[in-house]
Amino acid sequence: MTLRFGTDGVRGHAHTELTPDLVVALGRAAARVLGAGPVVIGRDTRASGPRLEADLAAGFAVEGLTVDNVGVVPTPAVAHASMTRSVTGAMISASHNAYVDNGIKFFAPGGRKLSDEVEERLEAELDGLLHEPVPILPDVSAVVDDSVGAAWVDAVVGSVPAGALDGLQLVVDCANGSASRWAPRALERLGATVEVIHAEPDGTNINAGCGSTHPEDLQARVVASGADAGLAFDGDADRVLGVDASGALVDGDHLIAICALDRHRRGELVDDTVVVTVMANLGFRLAMEANGIRVEETAVGDRYVLEALARGGWCLGGEQSGHVIFPGLATTGDGLLTGVQVLAAVRAAGQTVAEAATVMTSLPQVLVNVRVVQRRPDIADRLAGPIADAEARLGPRGRVLIRPSGTEPLVRVMVEAEDTTVAEEVAGALAAAVEAASA
Q: How many CA atoms lie within 13 A of 222 on its CB side?
A: 26
Contacts for 252 with CB less than 8 Å, ≥ 6 apart: 239, 241, 318, 319, 320, 321, 322, 323, 324
> Nearest Cα to 115, choosing from 278, 333, 304, 301?
304
Residues annotated as catalytic (active site), given as ranges: 95
The residues with which 171 forms a beta bridge, in sequence order, are 195, 230
Residue 202 near residue 176 (C-beta atoms within 8 A): yes
User: In 67-178, which ranges are continuous DSSP H helix?
Assistant: 75-85, 116-129, 147-157
* 193 burial level (CB within 10 Å; 0-12, 13-18, 19+): middle
Largest interatomic CA distance in the chain: 66
State the Cα torsion 25-83-10-156 to the nearest 10°. 140
Determine the angle formed by the axes of helices 252-265 and 282-290, rounding to 10 degrees. Answer: 10
**Size of the chain, expressed as the number of residues it contains:** 439
State the Cα torsion 21-27-33-37 to the nearest 10°. -150
Residue 264 to residues 242, 257, 347: CA-CA distances in angstroms?
21, 10, 16
Residue 125 to residues 27, 135, 315: CA-CA distances in angstroms?
11, 16, 35
Query: How far is 101 from 415, CA to CA, in rounded Å?
Result: 31
Query: How far is 411 from 193, CA to CA, in rounded Å?
Result: 45
